[in-house]
Structure formats: structure tokens, C-alpha cells
Structure 1
Amino acid sequence: MQTKQVFSYGAAKRQIQGGEQRMRIGVYWLLPVAILSGFGGFLVGSSTPSDVIYGDVPASAIEKALDGDTILIDGQIIKIRGLDAPEVGKNASCLAEAALGGLAMQHLAGELHNFGETVWELRNVDNRSGRLEGDLVRSDGKNIVDHMTINGFAISSEARWEWCRVVPDFDDNQLYPAINVGSGPPSDVELADD
């Protein structure tokens, strides 16, 4: 009497390998289909230059300044290229940076809306860094970067400035004059006589 072999390891192995092969082919076809169907846009980011308002932008279309170097236009957050201002709120590294950031934000907001219905031009918008960046220039050619840096509210740089760093480097032997602030406004600051 002969017994039938119910299970063959070789056949099972060939069936598993065939399934893996079919799965690999399916994945290779799935990737281009997903990219063509728009899933690739989800991976890269939802904002592309084609769906961003750029060109002439009336001052009324600029919703607000989010900080000293970022604005909101039609729901799009746009970083002003070439400008670094102190951060505000929880993004600030120290209290001094938060205070400076608040002043920079107020100044930028005032400048954007200071001239009534001034038309700003948003140029060269791109999202290469993962966020929208552009140049903001007034209709008379005045660049907002120049204005913010000349007035001391920001620096003209692509790099991130360390706003909390102590800048003065004095000798240890130098004597610092005592400052008598008094009770008047900051303009009444006088050096104390020693």
C-alpha cells in the first residue's frame, strides 16, 4: 500500500516565492501610480508655487505679520527671503529675543500697512526649503529687507542669528560706569558721578 504525500515542502516554497515575486511587481507598479495620482504631492508638501498668490499684492491682502520676517497672505505663510528677525513667543530662545521679536513684528506690520493701499510685489516664491519663501518689494522698488535692517529690527541673512548671545567683549580690568536710571523715561538715563 502506497501513501500519498499530502504536503510538499518544495511546492509550498515555490508558491511562497511566486507570491513574493508578484508582490514585488505590484509594489513597482504602485509607486508610479501613487505619484501620478497626487500622492507624491502629499509627500513633498501641500504648498506648491502654482497654488500660491504671488505678483502684485495689495496691502489689504496681507492678513498679518506672524513675526518680524514672516507674513500671512491669503492663508499662506510666507517667509521673507534674506531676512532674519528675532523669534516671538515660544519660538524665542530667551526673554530678550521674545521682546525684540515683538518689536520687529509690530514694526513689520506697521510698515506693510503704513502706506494705505500700497501695492507690494511678491517675487520669486518657492518652497525648496520646505516652506514658502519670497522677496517682498514695494511698488516703488523699496525692499522690505532693507527697511527692516536699516531700522535695526532684523539682519539681512539667510542664516539664523543668535539673538540671545552676549555681544560685548570687554577686558576684565575695565571699569563700568554706574547707570542712574531714576524715575523718568529712558531718555533721562544719566551716568552717575563717581
Structure 2
Amino acid sequence: MIGILIIANTVCTSDILLYPFYPQTTEKWNIQLTQVIFSINIGRHLFNVLEPLFSKQRKKKASYLVENVHHGVTLLCYAVFLGYTDNSLLGLVGVLMESTGIFEELVRLCNTSNMQQTLLYKRLLLLSAFFNICFRGIVPVAFLINAMFNRSPFTMSYPTLMIFFLSIIFFSVINVWQILASLQRVG
């Protein structure tokens, strides 16, 4: 939840809504805060890739490989956004989308603890579905529409532009899948 507040603060107190693809600000703290957020998430995804290699608990190989595709694409996106300082708004929206994972982890914890019949479990399912719909459906689409009406993405450098379109396609598929999965768990 702290991440959501930091990202909301960054979006609301900077000119990132007016210049979503290329920063035009003279205030360097906005760019530096965005770079710190991207750096933290790069470290988190690197940890997620490397942890199973050094852990005594073994994951299924197929699950590990699928998760690594996601982590690899995410690492590539954040690294390019960080290196070129382009596409900050949609990069921050990506970090915001990942914040819904806390509710899914709590639902998984309740499943492993045989708490499926409790009120807590049912409320967590509803919260997970609500936050998935908001942060993986409504917010990214609204920010993407806002970004396209304010500026052209073709002002970005070519590597960032390539990653921009890759991330739209890749993460749209993941987001639709996450939303449908959370709605199926509720229903």
C-alpha cells in the first residue's frame, strides 16, 4: 500500500500526466524519484529470478520458466525506461499494477491454511478482484488514453518506443488474464 501512495504522489505532484513519454520538468526530484522506484523494482525482479536458484525449496520447472518470462520482460522494460528516462508514466502504472499481488498472496496463504470458508477469505477474494479490475484494467487504460491524447509516443527514443509497444501487448494479455482469474475465484 505504501507503493501505491508513493506512485500516486509522484504522478500527482509532477508534470508526468502532461508529458508522459518524455520528461519536460526542470525539477530533478521527480525524475530521481521515478528512477528510484524503477531501480527498486529492478532489484525485486532480479531477486525473484535468482531466489529459486539458491533456495533449497524447488519450484516446478514449467512454473519457474513462465515466471521468468514475466520477470525478464519486466526487467527489460524497467531497465530501458530507467536508462532513457522515457515513458515514466506507463512505467509507474506498471509498478502500480504489480501492487495488486499482495491480495493474491494473502488469498494463496488462506488456501494453504484451509481457510476457504472464512469471512476473511471471501473478503480477500473481493478485494483482490476489485483491485485487479481497478489497477490492472481501469487505471492503465485511462492513463494510456490520457497519454495518447496529450503527447505522441513517437517522441521517445527508438529502444523505448519498441519496449513501449512490447509492454502494451505483453502486459495487456497478463492483465486480462489476472482480471479474469480473480473474477472466476469470486464467482
Normalised to the residue count of structure 2, the TM-score between the two structures is 0.30
- Higher relative contact order (CA closer than 8 Å, sequence separation 6+): 2
Q: Which has the higher helix share?
A: 2
Of structures 1 and 2, the larger Rg is shown by 1
